[in-house]
Amino acid sequence: MPSLGRLHLITDTRPGCDPLAVLRAALPVARAELVVQVRVADDATDREAYELAGQVVALCRPYGAACLVNDRLHVALAVAAAGGHVGAEDLPVPAARRVLGSAAVLGVTAREPRSAAEAVAAGASYLGVGPCHATATKAGLPDPIGPDGVRAVVEAVDVPVIAIGGVTAARVPALRAAGAYGVAVVGALSQAADPARATAELLGALTC
Ligand SMILES: Cc1ncc(COP(=O)(O)OP(=O)(O)O)c(N)n1
Ligand SMILES: Cc1ncsc1CCOP(=O)(O)O
Ligand SMILES: [Mg+2]
């Protein structure tokens, strides 16, 4: 598996958002440090997910950025994405690994050390750990775990930990100090007045 990028941009497909415009701004700045996770609304059709993911794969290719698909692994396969991301309501990790194959990137959501270690044993390439901080982007999440919760997971596994939930550039140093390899963001880029500049700020915080 090629080395994983440290800045994960999750597409914001809520009404009024333009995920491809955000991606076009972020790609020339972050290049191969960018991982784009295509995440569509639950009520989006597979056709909509496929068309968005195909556009993302094409945009990422010249920059060496990776595209992953959230939840819908058949879409990941259909567009030849680098892999996918699953959580508790998606395919179990061993099944997801079987679907994607041994060479693909498989991200798995984890909140605490025990399930994190189980996910890695079952085939996770990296873990998405959070919510680290409060977020309005996704409803129904449990309480934030903070940098200490991230550290507990980092100490239990030997794969990259990607911190997610309310991540801003200002919060990156504490997450890195807790051992996070990288971060995943929705709002920090999709709600930014200047997504290229916000990308540079996140990247600077991740790589200093
Ligand atoms: C990097 C990363 N971490 C966690 C998640 C959350 O996945 P999941 O728990 O399956 O929730 P949904 O995103 O599917 O609503 C993620 N997508 N990416
Ligand atoms: C999908 C998801 N899972 C945990 S937090 C989250 C959303 C993160 O969005 P934001 O970066 O805007 O807080
Ligand atoms: Mg999911």
Query: DSSP state, 18?
Result: -
174 Cβ neighbours under 8 A, 6+ residues apart: 147
> In angstroms, rounded to a whole number, what is the distance separating the alpha carbons of residues 137 and 123?
28
ipTM (interface predicted TM): 0.99
- Closest ligand to C-alpha of residue 73 is 3
Structure confidence by residue, pLDDT tens digits, 28-66: 999 999 999 999 999 999 999 999 999 999 999 999 999
Q: Which helix or strand (DSSP H or E) is residue 185 part of?
A: strand 182-185
Cβ neighbours around 22 below 10 Å, total: 23
Q: Which residue lies with its CA nearest to atom 3 of ligand 1?
A: 128
Whole-number percent of the chain with pLDDT over 70: 99
Q: Does domain 7-207 have CATH number 3.20.20.70?
A: yes
Q: Which helix or strand (DSSP H or E) is residue 205 part of?
A: helix 195-207
- Closest ligand to C-alpha of residue 107 is 1
Q: Which residue lies with its CA nearest to atom 12 of ligand 2?
A: 187
107 lines ligand 2 (CB under 6 A): no
> In angstroms, rounded to a whole number, what is the distance separating the alpha carbons of residues 195 and 201?
10
Contact 151, 179 (CB under 8 A): yes
User: Where does the pLDDT of residue 208 fall: very low under 50, low under 70, confident under 90, or very high at 90 and above?
Assistant: confident
Q: Which of 132, 164, 202 to mutate to test the pocket of ligand 2 (most atoms within 8 A of CB)?
A: 164
Q: Which residue lies with its CA nearest to atom 9 of ligand 2?
A: 186
Question: Please, what is the end-to-end C-alpha distance for the chain in angstroms?
Answer: 24
> In angstroms, rounded to a whole number, what is the distance separating the alpha carbons of residues 168 and 146?
13
Residue that the structure tokens 């690994």 belong to: 97
Structure confidence by residue, pLDDT tens digits, 176-198: 999 999 999 999 999 999 999 99
